[in-house]
């Protein structure tokens, strides 16, 4: 899977990560989805209601509102973004939620080294996606 990101989106996500540090930042990614490629057209920042540096949780009501709004704009829900004050790899808690969310993309930014990585759960296995920034 290829995750196509726009440079301005990456900037927004980096800024949010720095602003809420050490709490994990989170956002929802919307755009266009085809079989092998997800193109992000819209980033919706969401609050981490746990205010935690190791876990994140978004308000399901806000998720529903954001999805409805994006669908009206012609976008589909592509995936979730969150930051880690640790390497950009899914934690065991992330894996649990990946199972809950299904095959959406998980974009993780490490606030330690600035590394951005994306993952998808396919057949219960974590697969790394290729990120393209334009």
Contact residues toward Zn ion (CB under 5 A) are 91, 94
Contact 108, 98 (CB under 8 A): no
Nearer to Zn ion, 43 or 88 (CB): 88
Closest approach of Zn ion to the CB of residue 31, in Å: 21
Nearer to Zn ion, 34 or 92 (CB): 92
Handedness of CA 54, 59, 62, 66 (dihedral sign): positive
Closest approach of Zn ion to the CB of residue 90, in Å: 6
Residues contacting 86, CB < 8 A, separation 6+: 110, 112
Nearer to Zn ion, 6 or 91 (CB): 91
Closest CA to 124 of 106, 105, 89, 98: 98
Let me know how long the chain is: 134
Closest approach of Zn ion to the CB of residue 25, in Å: 11
Nearer to Zn ion, 47 or 91 (CB): 91
Contact 24, 55 (CB under 8 A): yes
Closest approach of Zn ion to the CB of residue 73, in Å: 28
């Amino acid at each position: 899977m290829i995750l196509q990101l726009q440079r301005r989106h990456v900037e927004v996500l980096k800024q949010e990560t720095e602003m809420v540090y050490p709490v994990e930042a989170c956002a929802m990614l919307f755009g266009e989805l085809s079989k092998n490629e997800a193109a992000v057209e819209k980033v919706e920042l969401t609050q981490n209601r746990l205010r935690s540096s190791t876990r994140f949780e978004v308000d399901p009501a806000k998720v529903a509102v954001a999805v409805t709004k994006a669908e009206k704009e012609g976008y589909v829900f592509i995936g979730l973004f969150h930051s880690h004050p640790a390497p950009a790899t899914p934690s065991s808690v992330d894996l649990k939620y990946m199972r809950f969310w299904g095959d959406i993309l998980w974009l993780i930014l490490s606030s330690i080294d600035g590394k951005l990585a994306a993952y998808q759960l396919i057949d219960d296995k974590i697969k790394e996606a290729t990120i393209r920034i334009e």
